[in-house]
Structure 1
Amino acid sequence: MSVTTKTVLRAEEIKPRIGSRVLNTKDELLSGEIAGEIRDLLEARGVLVFPRIGFTSEEQVAFTKTLGTFAPEGDDGETITKITLDAKENPSAAEYLKGSLYWHIDGTRNDVPILASLLSCIKPSPKGTGNTGFANTYSAFEALPEDKQAEYEKYKVIHGPWQSLFYYEPEPSLAKLQGYMGIGEQVLPLVWKHKSGRKSLVIGCTAVAVEGKSPMESARIIHGLRDWATGPDFTYSHEWEIGDLVIWDNTGTMHRAESYDPTCGRMMHRTKLEGEEAFAYA
């Protein structure tokens, strides 16, 4: 008589307020049996690490599809996106990816941002460089004093990818600036109230200004909250090894690549999950 054994999610916390390691086997993950539990854990923890799982490109795509709707990238229909600052490997995106070195949420110019990104390590940079940092903006909001929560819930923030250009090129040409501005802007809540009832901060290097506030006051709010949300209690820096896979909840987690030599060959493969929830005011 055969006995069917249910697959159990095996995970351990990385830090109290952010991050868990998932310890299941590749076959268990690809089966999709624990996909719902992984989704729940992702929302709760912000970042999930699958140490040295070693997915092939095809397996990464298949695993992504167990978790939600696969989000294709680019006009060529590629299922895997190469993430590298090496212009020889990724000539169309190497310049734009410089903005990834600063704290951000993907999709702030869209009504519905992507749900999550999955990044696998093909070749890491030398030790001590090229980590990926994550900041849990759910936890950061929930740890604020109640009066500050109530204040920030009232604010709207203008976001534009062009703002991130000034982080790595303080004096761009007008032509270059206008090219980035052509991507568009979006007015978003500073505090996103999710369908679950939880709330997260919508900040990062695309934040231009708080509506109705002076430039000085806008900067104080935006950069002050970034400073708070990227403090040690809410952040995790992942040091990559070949075969690692990391998923982060883009709706409640900022991320950034940490500095590395663009010529070192660092290479990541990315897949994404389609967004399921529009930005909403508290």
Structure 2
Amino acid sequence: MIETTALSPALGVQVHGVEDLLDDVVAAQCLEALKWRGVLLIRGLNLSDEQQVAFSRKLGTVLAPGGKEVFVVSLNPEKSRSAEYLKGTLFWHIDDTTNDIPAKATMLTCKHAAMVGGGTEFASTYAAYESLSDNERKRYEGLRVVHSFEAAQRLVHPDPPADMLAGWRKLPTHETSLVWDRKDGRRSLVIGATADHIVGMRPEESRELLDELLAYTTQERFSYTHEWQVGDVVIWDNTGMLHRALPYDPSSEREMHRTTMAGSEAWA
């Protein structure tokens, strides 16, 4: 049996007593904790890529974009060919908002931690929604949001050259409910860096509402900041947790290895 201690009042647990990562009971307990707490931390596992993939498979179907199950996360272009794109991860976001079905969960293993900065922040959109007043819930009910790669990248490059902009706009956009009414009865918010605009709303009003809701959701009371140690494993519910990396020097040794588990429920 594993044991857990809360990382913050609103979200997250640290998991203790894991002896066999591939035990079905351990996997089931981790999935249950992930569902209700959103973020799982296991210190000192020091997983190899093979072990990380095997553990991830116990939690779900492992995705392999580009044919690789393990993705290197680093701002150093010598370590990751996606380093430029990964600059966008310094802003609050949910992955896969432009896909029909979002990934269920993400796992990061810390290979090297930054000497300064480089932590990861999480914010629970479940907890934020639950804390809204009835009037606020009515205000957001029925609103639809268009998500785009362009919206996220404009935070990094606010005045992009024409060729860069054209490349962004080749990628599909996707429309979701602002409030995701899930099959299990829970509700969460679909917001973050990719949220371009609210359908049918004036641009200025749309931006103001989305920024206001993001600021509300990422308050300290709904958040947890993880300071990485080498060997840490963190798993989070990608569908309901906003996350972002805290700034760090791209030339630092910070390096994470990521695996992603496929989801099964489409955005509403």
TM-score range, shorter chain: over 0.9
Match of 2:262 in 1: 274
Paired residue type of 1:132 = T
Superposition pairs for residues 1-282 of structure 1, below 5 Å?
A: 8-25=1-18, 27-74=19-66, 77-91=67-81, 93-127=82-116, 129-280=117-268
Secondary structure of the 1:22 match is: strand
Tell me if structure 2 keeps the 8 A contact 1:32–1:63: no
Secondary structure of the 1:58 match is: helix
Deviation, structure 1 residue 73? 2.2
Deviation, structure 1 residue 221? 1.1
Q: Could you list the per-position Cα deviations for residues 216-265 of structure 1 after superposition, in whole angstroms to 9, with x for gaps in the alignment?
A: 11011100010001000111110000000000101110111110000012
Identity across matched positions, percent: 39
Q: Could you list the per-position Cα deviations for residues 116-136 of structure 1 after superposition, in whole angstroms to 9, with x for gaps in the alignment?
A: 100000000014x00011110
Match of 1:5 in 2: none
Q: CA RMSD in A?
A: 1.0
Q: Could you list the per-position Cα deviations for residues 68-125 of structure 1 after superposition, in whole angstroms to 9, with x for gaps in the alignment?
A: 1111122xx222110001011112x111111111000000111100001000000000
Once residues 176 and 57 of structure 1 are traced to their aligned partners in structure 2, the CA distance between those partners, rounded to angstroms, is: 33
Structure 2 gaps of 5+ residues are none
Secondary structure of the 1:48 match is: strand
Secondary structure of the 2:183 match is: coil
TM-score, normalization by structure 1: 0.93
> Which contiguous aligned blocks of 4+ residues in structure 1 show a shift greater than 3 angstroms?
none
Tell me if structure 2 keeps the 8 A contact 1:35–1:66: yes
Paired residue type of 2:13 = S
Paired residue type of 2:97 = T
Deviation, structure 1 residue 30? 2.2
Structure 1 gaps of 5+ residues are 1-7
